[in-house]
């Protein structure tokens, strides 16, 4: 059974990534294929200290190069100069940050491509950005991806599933009550 910070189970097969009815459960799917651990495992203290919010550290699988939307949301933050991160806001007000690598802003967008712009409505599983792990490593940076709930909105009982190998856009890694 995967470890988790609360009672959270991985749903097999297709995840229900869209926000559920106002009082029902909701879940977020993994934004990148890889190994999921607690945010405390992130080598960057800005993330591991949870000052940006609680969340997950995802070590991308060797062939992973795409970040997808973990739920239906609005892209509220993009980084046009570096394309290394994206912020999303769900309809329930939950704010998410997906940040690829550590100190990758210093790469100036080299081999990062953002597929959305601020204000775009995105669907669960939709491609948000692509990156080159090879280029990140060559620049001397770790490739871990921070997946952070920076504000809960109206969500309660947020639980993070860790200790699993997750598929981008398929594996549920966050559950909450709307």
At residue 24, the pLDDT reads 75
At residue 7, the pLDDT reads 33
Span between the terminal Cα atoms of the chain, in Å = 25
Q: For 49-75, how does the pLDDT look when each residue is reduced to its tens digit (9 = 90+)?
A: 999 999 999 999 999 999 999 999 999
At residue 55, the pLDDT reads 98
141 in catalytic set: no
Size of the chain, expressed as the number of residues it contains:
178
With helix as H, strand as E and coil as C, how does 126-137 read? CEEEECCHHHHH
> Which of 32, 67, 99, 175 is an active site residue?
99
- Rg for the chain, CA atoms, rounded: 15
Residues (pLDDT < 50) of the chain are: 1-22
């Amino acid at each position: 059974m995967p470890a988790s910070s609360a009672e959270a189970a991985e749903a097999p097969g297709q995840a229900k990534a869209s926000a559920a009815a106002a009082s029902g459960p909701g879940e977020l799917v993994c934004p990148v294929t890889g190994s999921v651990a607690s945010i405390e495992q992130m080598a960057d203290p800005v993330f591991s200290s949870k000052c940006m919010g609680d969340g997950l550290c995802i070590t991308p699988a060797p062939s992973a190069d795409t970040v997808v939307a973990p739920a239906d949301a609005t892209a509220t933050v993009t980084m046009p100069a570096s394309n290394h991160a994206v912020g999303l806001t769900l309809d329930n007000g939950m704010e998410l940050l997906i940040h690829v690598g550590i100190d990758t802003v210093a790469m100036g967008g080299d081999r990062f491509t953002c597929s959305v712009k601020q204000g775009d409505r995105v669907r669960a599983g939709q491609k948000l950005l692509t990156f080159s792990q090879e280029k990140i490593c060559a620049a001397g940076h770790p490739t871990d991806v921070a997946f952070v709930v920076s504000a809960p909105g109206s969500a309660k009982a947020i639980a993070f599933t860790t200790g699993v190998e997750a598929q981008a856009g398929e594996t549920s890694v966050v559950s909450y009550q709307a």
